[in-house]
Chain A
Amino acid sequence: MTTTVCGRCKSSGAVTDHQGRQDGAVVWTILRCPTCNFSWRDSEPARAIDPAVRSADFAVDAGDLQRYPKILQQ
């Protein structure tokens, strides 16, 4: 089932960007988290997209987006 909770920053409210079809039926959905910009396909292995089992090393802290540096500053 498609969840709109982001596997990376655990924010809700992901938007649907695209659905893949095969013989007319939807076979997967691509979602995007507007908070941390993580994009995923709901058919991917759980370890990449399920917040319950995904590695914490690759988590993004939705409460502290300031910490990520901005490239190409004047």
Chain B
Amino acid sequence: MTMNDLPNRARSISSLRDFLELLEDAGQAITWSDAVMPEPGVRNIAVAASRDANGAPAIVFDNITGYPGKRLAVGVHGSWDNIALLLGRPKGTTIRELFFEIAGRWGDQEAQISFVPEAQAPVHECRIEQDINLYDVLPVYRINEYDGGFYIGKASVASRDPLDPDNFGKQNVGIYRLQIQGPDSFTLMTIPSHDMGRQIMAAEREGVPLKIAVMLGNHPGLAVFAATPIGYEESEYSYASAMMGAPIRLTKSGNGIDILADSEIVIEAELQLGERELEGPFGEFPGSYSGVRKAPIFKVTAVSHRRDPIFENIYIGRGWTEHDTLIGLHTSAPIYAQLRQSFPEVTAVNALYQHGLTGIISVKNRMAGFAKTVALRALSTPHGVMYLKNLIMVDADVDPFDLNQVMWALSTRTRADDIIVLPNMPAVPIDPSAVVPGKGHRLIIDATSYLPPDPVGEAHLVTPPTGDEIDALSKRIREMQLGALS
């Protein structure tokens, strides 16, 4: 695989299988064929892999004890190198470059959506409508040791608006955690502000059915772009296609929902109106367990899958995990775009940490104290409203993706009174530091330099050499160092 082929190769991906093949060619996917117990073996291997945030490979298990012939993939989006390959960039591309790759794609491409007749859609190769047993289809395992059950952690759930079912744009695709509750049932965790939460409440209020299709093992672009805070009336399929610059093939599920034609597995299900079952705990992205709650329950009506399907799942828990590489860049990029509509002085946004519970924003100060104004605007972006808890503001000469530089700014450009604490603000319910779930404090640290009328002004900075020449030299030093080993 040459470097020049990468963008075309990435655009030609139409399924998880295509992507695994690309990853394997690039040394970024391995097959685990030693016998492994579902617990704790799968978790141990997934956690060990995710220690290498830059280079971890996807792992395909094909010999899990008690699941003969079944395949499980974890870590598909588990490293920056895997994300780089998905975006058509070479391994070793920096996080900053990947950020600008995504930020630069806005409005760049038209969506390319095509429809495949159900009879020709690979996802419908095998169909189960009787005696449904999810445990027969999915090689599940306990993701964290005190999870309340066996979770499907990387499901893209598609649904139509129960009050406007013919509207393509109002179809919703989102990632929600599902806990299996017996062979043909599962609970789905959501909150009222998420699209699925809204749809469940609308269906229950009006007494109308809510049917969903749970897609597993999908086009790898969907998981990246379907978890995005975009407008409710924008189709996630169109958006993912435009952002990938690649066509997406849809078909219909048996219960009438538009689904990806090339997914590995689709579970069709219907909301049990008004019913709730105990759900949780689940080891969530802040690195702590959620509580036990009573959540909506869905009854499975059919399952479709490709021949010899691959069940794709995720390790999520105390970071760094696949969850961080999966959603980090695409959490950061919309905040950047939204901020720049008001403040073109914003030069980059790093909201990689715990879904943006901590974010770092670089900005060209327009006037003294301006960075604080920008920080307050960030808190009112769609993601900022709930998630941006700690904000560190740095100057444009600091790369927010380079934590050594951020620490330099904190060390030399922050006065102890250059912080703002906003008490009793909205908070994500699963933030363990909240005062009460759903309510907590925000922190803004202004680590930008001083402008008039501030009496101190900018320090006389040392300017070490930078640029292409220094980048090339540092690469050469690294090569010489590696060469000395061989």
Residues of A within 8 A of B (CB): 8, 15, 17-18, 20-23, 27-28, 30, 32, 36-41, 43-45, 47-48, 55, 57-58, 60, 65, 68-72, 74
Interface centre among A21, A22, A68, A71 (most CB of B within 10 A): A71
Interface membership of B104, Cβ < 8 A: no
Residues of B within 8 A of A (CB): 37-40, 65-68, 133, 135-136, 142, 145-146, 148-150, 179-183, 189-192, 197, 200-201, 204-205, 276-279, 281, 289, 291-296
Q: Does the CB pair A68–B39 fall under 8 Å?
A: no
A58 to chain B: closest CB distance in Å? Answer: 4
Q: Does the CB pair A70–B276 fall under 8 Å?
A: yes
When chains A and B are docked, how far (Å) is the Cα of A58 from the Cα of B146?
Answer: 7
Residue in A43, A55, A68 whose beta carbon sits within 8 Å of that of B278 in the complex: A68
The A contact surface, by secondary structure, is mixed
A2 to chain B: closest CB distance in Å? Answer: 14
Q: Does the CB pair A22–B66 fall under 8 Å?
A: yes
Q: Does the CB pair A20–B142 fall under 8 Å?
A: no
Q: Does the CB pair B191–A28 fall under 8 Å?
A: no
A63 to chain B: closest CB distance in Å? Answer: 14
Using Cβ atoms and an 8 Å threshold, which residues of chain A touch B65?
A: 20, 22, 27-28, 43
Using Cβ atoms and an 8 Å threshold, which residues of chain B touch A30?
A: 135, 150
B162 to chain A: closest CB distance in Å? Answer: 14
| Beyond A28-B66, A39-B148, A74-B201, 20 extra complex contacts between A and B, CB < 8 Å | A18-B136, A18-B183, A27-B65, A32-B149, A32-B182, A37-B148, A37-B149, A37-B181, A37-B279, A39-B149, A41-B38, A43-B65, A44-B39, A55-B146, A58-B281, A70-B276, A71-B294, A72-B190, A72-B296, A74-B204
Q: Does the CB pair B294–A27 fall under 8 Å?
A: no
Using Cβ atoms and an 8 Å threshold, which residues of chain B touch A70?
A: 276, 293-294
Q: Does the CB pair B39–A48 fall under 8 Å?
A: yes
What residue of chain A has the Cβ atom nearest to residue B151's Cβ?
A39
Using Cβ atoms and an 8 Å threshold, which residues of chain B touch A28?
A: 38, 65-66
Q: Does the CB pair A17–B135 fall under 8 Å?
A: yes
A18-B133, A28-B66, A32-B182 known; A71 vs B189 contact (CB < 8 Å):
yes
